[in-house]
């Protein structure tokens, strides 16, 4: 049975612990140790105890002194590079939560080390495990042979002061000299970007060639809580993303694909696509693969097992993050921001942000091109970020 260690016991790491509990029941994994500076409690502590796993406060001790086949890393993003590099250099296979790393140099070091060590690295972009992602990629590539398709992702969430105060790295561009890049595009809505990259055909030989981006903040943070971007690939394909954490009304993140003869909408937290074509509408439902279970199968040498989201497939995402965070963040003027009471303290709401995102979705334009009153008049752009990698 594959020996697994987990870095992280709280927040999203708890979902990995529950998945390891399920896989242990199936005889596919044996949880050996959990590392976190704060011990697991409640339901998570019960799982650790039931599975007979050891709690280790120091992740370095777990990786260096414990016999592991696989380590799951669900730590703050700015620690991903150091932790995953230590794991692969120890010969341990890795499931690395998204974003994998947030700097191009770290990506290269990790990729090179994993290849040299001969270990697998799967990245936790969970929505890529949905059959819906595969289906839309096939639709997009098939349509693109006949005509250009329009690909847009949107998301409207609300986050209050407690969210931005949840840790010392929250909302930071960097911490103690290490890039954090906890912006809306690179962390909360990272799936929106990655889904567009995959559905748009990014991959080997087709990388990011240009990024136009507008970054805004209503909160007192270093990164963006609201943003729009337009991305061009070396193949000529293009997509746009418009998101906010200061929504007037919460709307689930979704991917929209449109062509002259129809459209498809995937609310990517689920596995259903709504299609419209030739005067009729219909839904298609899909299964979702466990990226951890898939990695364990690959490590065990099960025939026909290929990783859905290997590290190399996220190269374009890191290119994108590099480009976005080379551009400034602008404050939304106070007259366009109101503060509402939330369960975790006040939350910022940007006036008209829902309409702006709706217009961006319909047109593929950026906020500044739509004459949104709190937006800049011209977007920032950076060409050929792929050259950095």
What does the pLDDT look like over 223-232, one tens digit per residue? 999 999 999 9
Quick one: pLDDT at residue 383? 59
Last residue of a domain, one of 126, 151, 182: 126
Quick one: pLDDT at residue 235? 86
Q: Are 213 and 229 in contact (CB under 8 A)?
A: yes
233 lies in which domain range?
130-287+310-388
- Residue 138 resides in a domain: yes
Task: Please check whether residues 267 and 165 belong to one and the same domain.
Answer: yes
What is Dmax (Cα atoms) for the chain? 62
- Residue 299 resides in a domain: no
Task: Please check whether residues 105 and 162 belong to one and the same domain.
Answer: no
Number of domain units in the chain: 2
Task: Please check whether residues 73 and 140 belong to one and the same domain.
Answer: no
Task: Please check whether residues 209 and 331 belong to one and the same domain.
Answer: yes
Task: Please check whether residues 179 and 65 belong to one and the same domain.
Answer: no
pLDDT in tens, 312-357: 999 999 999 999 999 999 999 999 999 999 887 899 999 999 999 9
Task: Please check whether residues 134 and 121 belong to one and the same domain.
Answer: no
Residues 6+ apart with CB under 8 A from 313: 123, 198, 203
Q: Residue 96 sits in a domain of what CATH number? A: 3.40.50.720
Q: Are strands 174-175 and 178-179 parallel, antiparallel or unpaired?
A: antiparallel
Cα(322)–Cα(103) distance, rounded to whole angstroms? 6
> What does pTM read for this prediction?
0.94
Residue pointed to by tokens 């594959």: 2
- Residue 55 resides in a domain: yes
Instruction: With a cut of 50, list the residues of the chain below it in pLDDT.
Output: 385-389
DSSP 8-state symbol, 332: P
- Residue 48 resides in a domain: yes
DSSP-derived 3-state class of residue 115: helix
């Amino acid at each position: 049975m594959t020996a697994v260690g987990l870095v992280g016991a709280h927040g999203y790491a708890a979902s990995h612990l529950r998945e390891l509990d399920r896989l242990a029941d199936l005889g596919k994994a044996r949880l050996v140790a959990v590392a976190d500076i704060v011990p697991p409690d409640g339901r998570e502590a019960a799982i650790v105890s039931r599975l007979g796993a050891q709690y280790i406060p120091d992740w370095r001790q777990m990786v260096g002194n414990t016999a592991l086949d696989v380590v799951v890393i669900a730590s703050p993003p700015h620690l991903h590079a150091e932790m995953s590099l230590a794991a692969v250099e120890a010969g341990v296979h890795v499931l690395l939560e998204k974003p994998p790393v947030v700097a191009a140099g770290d990506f290269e070091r990790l990729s090179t080390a994993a290849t040299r060590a001969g270990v697998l690295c799967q990245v936790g972009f969970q929505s890529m495990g949905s059959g819906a992602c595969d289906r839309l990629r096939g639709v997009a590539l098939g349509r693109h042979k006949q005509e250009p398709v329009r690909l847009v992702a949107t998301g409207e969430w609300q986050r209050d002061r407690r969210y931005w105060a949840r840790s010392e790295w929250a909302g930071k561009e960097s911490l103690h000299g290490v890039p954090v890049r906890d912006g809306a595009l690179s962390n909360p809505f990272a799936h929106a970007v990655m889904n567009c990259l995959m559905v748009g055909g990014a991959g080997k030989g087709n990388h990011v060639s240009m990024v136009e981006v507008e970054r805004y903040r209503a909160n007192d943070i270093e990164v963006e809580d609201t943003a729009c971007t337009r991305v061009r690939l070396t193949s000529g394909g293009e997509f746009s993303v418009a998101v906010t954490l200061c929504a007037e009304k919460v709307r689930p993140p979704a991917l929209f694909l449109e062509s002259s003869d129809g459209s498809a909408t995937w609310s990517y937290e689920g596995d259903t696509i709504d299609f419209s074509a030739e005067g009729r509408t219909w839904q298609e439902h899909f299964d979702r693969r466990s990226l951890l279970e898939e990695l364990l199968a690959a490590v065990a040498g099960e025939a026909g097992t290929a990783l859905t989201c290997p590290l190399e497939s996220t190269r374009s995402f890191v290119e994108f993050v590099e480009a976005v965070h080379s551009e400034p963040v602008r404050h939304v003027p106070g007259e366009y921001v109101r503060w509402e009471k939330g369960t975790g303290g006040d939350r910022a709401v940007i006036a008209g942000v829902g309409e702006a995102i709706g217009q961006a979705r319909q047109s593929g334009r950026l906020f500044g091109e739509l004459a949104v009153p709190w937006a800049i008049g011209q977007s920032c752009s950076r060409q050929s970020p792929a050259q950095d990698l």
